[in-house]
A and B are shown apart, each in its own frame.
Chain A
Amino acid sequence: MDEAELITRCKNRDENAFRVLIEQYKTNLASFIYRIVWDEELTQDLVQETFIKVFLNIHKFEYIARLKTWIYTIATNLSINEWRKQKRRKIFSIQHILQERGAGSFDDIGLLSHEDSPLQNVMSMEKSKYINKALQSLPPKYRIPIILFEIEQEPYEAIAEILHIPIGTVKSRIHRGRMLLKKKLQPYLDIDVQTNHEESDKAWIAAR
């Protein structure tokens, strides 16, 4: 089912089409929202709320925008609002504290490869935690464009549309966000530098 047909069927209130839409977007949407609010339960609620808003307003959707851009706009607005509320309340659940300490969040659900050695798994888990923490430490005005550009691979135009800011601002925020992240992730990036530079050089020589 292509996007146009999916939208038409959703506008006709077809339950099958709604389910296809949920399946198509739920995983990436959950990761995206989680990287804004950093709370699993809240992420689940926000994913649900995003889809409900999508279904309630699907008749207003016009084909000038991509469906993904429209869904992510709704999700971003909801997530930022929720993040602001959380910040105001300054309430941190035990779950949140455990997450910050990294207690048992990544293991035994298949995120870590069972083919790797325990040491490699632990290193991979530690690395993921470190990277996520660095990303989490960025202010949302840099973090959200970085997530959309680097992880979701959205073009500048789509990010500008999602965040309701000019393209120039998107570019400068991504640039600034990259600089901040590179500084924070320098130890991990340096480890990869030696191997990747060699590969990169080989690739460039081969390209010539």
Chain B
Amino acid sequence: MDCRTLDRLITRYFANTLPDRQARLVRQHLERCSACRGRLDDDQRLRLTLQDAALPPIAVDSDAIVTAAKKAGVHIIALRADKVKPHVFPLRAAAAVILLAVSGLLFLYQTVHSRPAYIARSSAAREKAHLSTMHIERIEVTRKVLPVYEGNMQDCSLLQENSF
């Protein structure tokens, strides 16, 4: 292997992506070529020097970015729980039981109040119903009697006329 080939392969060698045979050839070349070894050492030193150079701290506020993104029209769905938390389950179960009990009571209440009138009526309701029945009967009697009465009245007037 020559120095140019090493240059071509060296990045893949350090990334461990070279086939075994080529990796062995790179190692052999580096062992005997001090120029390439020196150059790689220099590159490594430069890399570490650049990585070690400190920068002034730059504060990046995640909340500010999310707020700005929402303002810029990014549709973001608000925080949601990934899983049902352990203490939430008993609460949900209790809520379900209460809901069932209330529904049962409502059903019973409705059943009782929708029974036939003669079973469920209170005394006041019964009295009211009785009175209204009496009223209807009275009207019917009036309807039957009135024509008779009117007829009688006419008869009476005829009698009076004849008597003169």
Contacts and interface: CB of A to CB of B under 8 A. Distances in A.
Contacts of A193: 45
Interface in B43-57: 43, 45-47, 49-57
B60 A30 contact: yes
B79 interface: yes
Contact of B59 (A44, A52, A112, A188): A44
Given A15-B76, A16-B79, A111 B49 contact: no
Contacts of B60: 22, 26-27, 29-30, 44, 47-48
A16 B82 contact: yes
A22 B65 contact: yes
A190 B56 CA distance: 26
B54 A111 contact: yes
Interface residues of B, number: 40
B66 A99 contact: no
A182 B46 CA distance: 7
* Interface SS of A by simple majority: helix
A110 to B, nearest CB: 8
Contact of A51 (B27, B58, B69): B69
Given A18-B66, A189-B45, A192-B49, A99 B56 contact: yes
A151 B55 contact: no
Contacts of A44: 58-60
A131 B53 contact: yes
B55 A34 contact: yes
A34 B59 CA distance: 12
A153 B51 CA distance: 10
Interface in B14-32: 15, 27, 30-31
A77 B39 CA distance: 32
B56 A181 contact: no
B158 interface: no
Given A14-B77, A14-B80, A127 B68 contact: no
Contacts of A200: 37, 41
A156 B11 contact: yes
Interface string B66-86: 101100111111111010000
A182 B44 CA distance: 11
Contacts of A52: 65, 68-69, 72, 74
Given A13-B76, A15-B76, A200-B41, A151 B51 contact: yes
A153 to B, nearest CB: 9
B62 to A, nearest CB: 5
A82 interface: no
B41 A197 contact: yes
B140 interface: no
A15 B46 contact: no
Nearest to B64: A48
B42 interface: yes
Contacts of B31: 204, 207-208
A182 B42 contact: yes
Interface of B: 11, 15, 27, 30-31, 37, 41-43, 45-47, 49-60, 62, 64-66, 68-69, 72-80, 82
Given A31-B58, A156-B11, A182-B42, 18 more contacts: A13-B74, A15-B78, A22-B66, A40-B56, A43-B58, A48-B65, A48-B68, A52-B69, A105-B56, A112-B54, A128-B53, A146-B50, A150-B47, A151-B47, A182-B46, A189-B49, A193-B45, A200-B41
